[in-house]
Amino acid sequence: MSIESLRDRMAELSDLTALARLAAWDQRTMMPPEGGAERGEQLATLERLAHERATGDEVGEWLAALEAADLDGLDAEIVRLARRDFDRARRVPGDLAAEIERASAEGQTIWQAAREANDFAAFAPALRRNVELAREFAACFEGFARPYDALLADYDYGLTAARVQEVFGELSEALAPLVADAAGNGAGAVVAPPVDAQQLAVPAVLARIGAGDGGWRIDVSAHPFSVGVGQRDSRVTTRYEEGDLLSVIAAMHEFGHALYERQIAPELTRTNAGGGTSMSMHESQSKFWENHVGRHPAFAPVIAEALGDGGFTVEPAALHASLVAVRPSLIRVSADPVSYPLHIVLRFELELALIEGGLDVADLPTAWNDGMRRLLGVEVPDDAAGVLQDTHWAAGAFGYFPSYALGCLIAAQLWEVLERDLGPQDDALARADVTAIRGWLADRVHAHGRRLDTEPLVERATGRGMEAAPFLRHARGLVGAV
């Protein structure tokens, strides 16, 4: 009965994770601000329960028995992943796991207030606490060349800081001068729809690509995100600012995350294989929909029509030019698709230095501002538009940031192979017909869940490991298109 017992436990853990996601979604969308402290305790309790259920002695006994059995297929995959997760979770004391969750919830509440007040000093103690906890977490593990590798394994198992530095080195060496040379191309092509038009366009565009049924919610948050509470319960958010075209693009980005979880093979539901395999693969799906569908010239009429229905008239060509113009900027989530990865290169450099002791929290704003000047040629006016703009460090998510740029690279790699397999998608995108695209992604990426790690999955889908060249070709094409 060991495999049935293990499957039951994995389903229970899946349910606890879903409830924690639901509580976190509510915290960032609808919870009254004064609920932050209690929500932190609630999330800590869920984390402690999940940790206890994941690391119980009986799980180790089931795994020992099952590893001696002759299993194959999905059962063998469940055991393999359970062993990895069990050994990793057993390394982390329950009290530390709960403290990390508590600090994450409290840090996000403090960050929101500090960002609004442009007050890094108010946030610094929470960040310092998260850095210290991240180091404690990394110290729980053996066999990693660097502390950061232990953190990275939570988001991209199998990748290392050295591998990321290799890929990012190739990327930034070619991309930084490309951005500097292209900065300002199409500077006059600024499309600035009012908020009311955006609020009508976002659900209209998402409905046309598949998010229009009863299995979706579209909400507003300070930082756009996506949460899958269940395979038929997808929640995406965006944010609306006057004159900001990117609310639509941000919503398509989050749609990509949600679609990944929805198209995982049904037999993996409520198993430990039933989620996206890594954050880089997740980001590749969001960047795929953001950059290669949402910013495709053939899709511009679809967005223009949706904005027009909201009372804002714009020519598709002008809209597309605005979406791809290279304008190095302060804010990552508003960055153009060419300069965007450089924002991530900077964050990776900084968090690597924070974790490995080369940078003190107090010096972070200066290091941030220097890096923005070096990589993007941008001067940072204040911390709210600089070091305080992202929620990830407030949540204690160290090792997460590389996935955003790696996702850009993988998305470009996938798009090249998709068009090789299916042919150019211009006609289909002009009709907002993404049926073939969704099916191709389901087969090549989504259906596998966690059965393949990042680089093996990229190799299966494209025939090659991760590389910067497809993205650089895409970026040069965008620069030449304006």
Matching residue, tokens 């610094």:
124
Q: What length is written for the chain?
A: 482
The CA R_g of the chain, rounded to the nearest whole Å, is 22
CB distance 204 to 306 below 8 Å: yes
Query: Rounded to an integer, what distance in angstroms lies between the CA atom of residue 168 and that of residue 166?
Result: 6
Question: Would you say 299 and 424 are in contact if contact means Cβ atoms under 8 Å apart?
Answer: no
Phi, psi of 156 (to 5 degrees): -145, 80
Helices and strands: H and E segment counts in the chain: 20, 3
Q: Find out whether 20 and 46 touch, Cβ atoms under 8 Å.
A: yes
Which residues make beta-bridge pairs with 217? 235
Burial class (CB in 10 A: 0-12, 13-18, 19+), 400: buried
Q: How buried is 162 (Cβ within 10 angstroms: 0-12 exposed, 13-18 middle, 19+ buried)?
A: exposed
Q: What is the rounded CA–CA span in Å between residue 94 and residue 350?
A: 29
Choice among 77, 99, 106, 254 that is catalytic: 254
User: Pseudo-torsion of CA 107, 17, 341, 157, nearest 10°?
Assistant: 110
Q: For residue 305, report the phi and psi dihedrals to the nearest 5 degrees.
A: -65, -40
Token pair of 288, please? 């795929």
| Catalytic residue flag (residue 416) | no
Largest CA distance in the chain: 67
Residues identified as active-site = 254
